[in-house]
């Protein structure tokens, strides 16, 4: 197994992680900013108010995006497993 193949696997793994986690993190960030703006405008200083909408948002993204997320992860794993014979030579 050459260093280039290790770098290729690592690069594709990081790209897959960012691709799968990006929508969840991005929407959680937007919801957090909206809740923070709401808290600043109304002067409500409740710490737990930000966590529940973020958790619900991440859950909904996982719920509706699960087929796509599964397809991305399976695509990465199938391509990695199909390259195993090449790595043993």
pLDDT band at 58 (very low <50, low <70, confident <90, very high): very high
* Rounded-to-integer distance, Cα 69 and Cα 26, Å: 15
Give the residue, 35 or 47, on which the prediction is more confident: 35
From 30, 63, 34, 27, select the one nearest 49 (Cα to Cα).
34
Distances (CA, A) of 5 to 10, 11, 77, 79: 9, 10, 15, 13
Residue 34 above 80 pLDDT? yes
Asked if the model's pLDDT at residue 48 lies above 90, the reply is no
Q: In this prediction, what percent of the chain has a pLDDT beyond 70?
A: 99
pLDDT at 18 over 90: yes
pLDDT at 46: 83
Residue 23's pLDDT is: 93
pLDDT on residue 35: 92
């Amino acid at each position: 197994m050459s260093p280039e193949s290790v770098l290729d696997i690592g690069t594709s793994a990081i790209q897959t992680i960012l691709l799968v986690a990006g929508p969840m993190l991005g929407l959680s960030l937007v919801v957090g900013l909206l809740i923070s703006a709401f808290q600043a405008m109304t002067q409500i200083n409740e710490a737990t108010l930000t966590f529940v909408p973020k958790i619900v948002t991440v859950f909904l993204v996982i719920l509706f995006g699960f087929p796509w997320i599964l397809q991305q992860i399976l695509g990465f794993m199938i391509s990695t497993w199909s390259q195993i014979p090449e790595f043993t030579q």
